[in-house]
Amino acid sequence: MKKLCRALTVLFAITAMTYPAPVAASDPILIGISKIVAHPALDAIEKGIQEVVKAQYPDAQFDLQNANGEMSTASSIAQKFKSENVTLAVGIATPTAQALVNALKDRPVIFSAVTDPVGAGLIASTEKGEKNVTGISDMTPVKAQIELLNRIKPIKTLGHVYASSEANAVSLATIARQVCKELGIKFVETTVSNSAEVKQAVQTIAGRVDGIYISNDNTVVSALAAVTSVAKKYKIPVMSADPSSAQTTPVLAAWGFDYYKMGKATGRLVVRILNGEKPETIPTIYMTEASDVDLLINMDVADELGLTFPEDVIAGANTIIEEGELIKQ
């Protein structure tokens, strides 16, 4: 009987170490949030997370960090979170999520806005999480985006600029390359290693393309104004996957996720884990509702380029920019 009691004691101890209990109301909660760069989409995710968590855990504290596009900084942030013993950490975008997963082995890490979490090495399968790791993907509808641009203006040669250091950007470039092959469009690509290189990269291809596609690549999106300044000079339409940035930067159209809603979904996932749910049991979450996606069209840019949006595209747009005014439909 004593042996049985000792065995049960050991079993309960192991279980307690393996499966975290819900955070008690009296326990201090510190959530580390690390984003790869500051731009409207990632800022919106950060805001959404805080709002949802604060609603459930009013006393929760946040350590908000920005890696400014530098992987070495992302790694330093991860070590900072480890030393200050955060309750859990959120990595917004692939490089910061990778740094957190590599550094924090003994507490939950949630990824958000990661296009290909399996390809990034964060999880082995989207069907379930890993020990202490789960999150939300922002795999974007690349084919539909390029098809929409091609419909507004038939494209013979599509230009694409992406960060070779971002796993998500590389995955999306592969998809875009294949889509162009299927559509009979020539694909001209160039890579950058940081946002300071974006303008020059666009300039190198501007004379050879009649359209530019920008994916949800954080390095390039953070320099979207540089893309549009060159595109305007060469009268090239730009299709972006980030409607948030397109509200203040003149692209022809942007079709992608509402990142504030993605932030709130991430916040709900944080709450689930704070309440005791195990990350390894949670599959990767995808934003699949029609309301999760936003189509923005810029009538002013269309006028400058001599283009006209089809009536059904105008009717289906969530956001329209006309005469400098932003109109929500």
- Cβ(155)–Cβ(149) below 8 Å: yes
Q: What is the pLDDT of residues 80-106, one digit of tens each?
A: 999 999 999 999 999 999 999 999 999
- pTM (2 d.p.): 0.79
Question: Which residue in 303, 191, 190, 327 sits closest to 237, CA to CA?
Answer: 303
Domain range for 220? 142-258+291-328
Same domain, 264 and 244: no
d(CA 128, CA 109) in angstroms, rounded, equals 14
Q: Are residues 103 and 21 in the same domain?
A: yes
Closest CA to 57 of 78, 26, 79, 101: 26
Residues 210 and 280 reside in one and the same domain: no
Same structural domain, 35 and 181: no
32 and 130 housed in the same domain: yes
What letter would DSSP give residue 86?
-
Please check whether residues 284 and 322 belong to one and the same domain.
no
Residue 16: pLDDT band (50, 70, 90) is very low
> 68 and 188 share a domain?
no
Report the CATH number at residue 31.
3.40.50.2300
| DSSP 8-state secondary structure symbol assigned to residue 89 | E
Structure tokens at 252: 């022809």
Count of the separate structural domains present in the chain: 2
22 versus 154: the higher-pLDDT residue is 154
The confidence score (pLDDT) of residue 23 equals 56
Q: What proportion of the chain, given as a percentage, has pLDDT over 90? A: 81
* Chain segment 182-232, per-residue pLDDT in tens: 999 999 999 999 999 999 999 999 999 999 999 989 899 999 999 999 999
Q: How many helices (H) and strands (E) does the chain have?
A: 13, 14
Confidence band for 22, pLDDT divided at 50, 70 and 90: low
The Cα 256–Cα 218 span in angstroms is 14
- Are 78 and 215 part of one and the same domain? no
The model's pLDDT over 225-270, given as tens digits with 9 standing for 90+, comes to 999 999 999 999 999 999 989 999 999 999 998 899 999 999 999 9
User: Predicted confidence band at 8 (pLDDT cuts at 50, 70, 90)?
Assistant: very low
**Type of residue found at 66:** N
What single string gives the DSSP state of each residue in 98-156? HHHHHH--SS-EEEEEES-TTTTTS-S-TTS-BTTEEEEE----HHHHHHHHHHHS--S
Residues 89 and 237 reside in one and the same domain: no
Residues 320 and 296 in one domain: yes
- Are residues 104 and 184 located together in one domain of the fold? no
- Strand, helix or coil at 238? strand
Residues 106 and 7 occupy one common structural domain:
yes
What is the reported pLDDT for 252?
Answer: 98
Q: Would the pLDDT of 328 be above 90?
A: no
- Which DSSP string do the residues of 246-278 spell out, in sequence order? HTTS--SEEEEE-HHHHHHHHHHHHHHHHTT--
